[in-house]
Amino acid sequence: MSQMEPFGARLRRAMDERGPLCVGIDPHASLLAEWGLNDDVAGLERFSRTVVEAVAGRVAVMKPQSAFFERFGSRGVAVLEKVVQEARAAGTLVVMDAKRGDIGSTMAGYAEAYLHKDAPLFSDALTVSPYLGYGSLSPAVALARESGTGLFVLALTSNPEGPEVQHAVRADGRTVGATMLAHLAAENAGEEPLGSFGAVVGATVGELSSYDLAINGPLLAPGVGAQGATAADLPKVFGPAVRNVVPNVSRGVLRHGPDVGALRGAAERFAEEIQAAVSGA
């Protein structure tokens, strides 16, 4: 397989050139209704491609949530294929938010669906769940290295159910979340300017000083905007690792649709606020 420049290097450059903002594409039924669209494939396509028109090529990253496309079956997945291809063609990196996690050949199949260069859903990176054991991700790690793509591993999520797993303490005294961060630091060791194996760390999880976020990889941080976190919170939450944070904003931008100019303006405002907060840290 011909290999692209590693995802971490491409992401670092995009963040430096455009700021670190990631805009989510979450076409759930309530947002379609807010836009005056029907909850059907036509509404899904109009919504998603409008978001791409508004911000692709202007932000570092876009993150489509696969579930909201999958619920429409094969026609919804066909829309997702177009969205990914159009965003990447415009020069924006695409993180597929599918949170896949399995073992063996099944994990390899998921990896091939999103990280193989000839796949219809080929994306720059994929979110994955390590809670069948970090080693279960090995097929995805191997294909990401081969293809120049990346992974974002769920580590410290902001959902209220997360702590029962992620904050559980192992026999060696480390929490499960800290163990995932340590695995990622090992994956990224020696990579410059940034490793390709990132963690998902919620911007609303609170105090993180007991966790070593210096994994030499990106930190995808949902929670800015409608979920309550602000750009100004990022340096306080992430400390010295804030330069590698990719804050995700979904509803905070998407609620400004369907007007392309309003969507674009909202993304630009978030990008400016985040860049100012990060650069001042």
Q: Length of the chain, please? A: 281
Catalytic, out of 63, 82, 99, 117 = 99
d(Cα 234, Cα 207) in Å, to the nearest integer? 11
Q: Determine contact, residues 11/93, Cβ cutoff 8 Å.
A: yes
| Number of neighbours of residue 180 by Cβ within 10 angstroms | 23
d(Cα 272, Cα 281) in Å, to the nearest integer? 14
d(Cα 225, Cα 41) in Å, to the nearest integer? 27
d(Cα 115, Cα 111) in Å, to the nearest integer? 5
Q: Give the side-chain half-sphere CA count within 13 A for 189.
A: 6
Tokens 């769920």 belong to: 154
Phi, psi of 162 (to 5 degrees): -60, -40
User: Does the N-terminal peptide bond of residue 193 adopt cis geometry, omega within 30 degrees of 0?
Assistant: yes
Catalytic (active site) residue 99:
yes
Q: List, by residue number, the catalytic residues.
A: 99
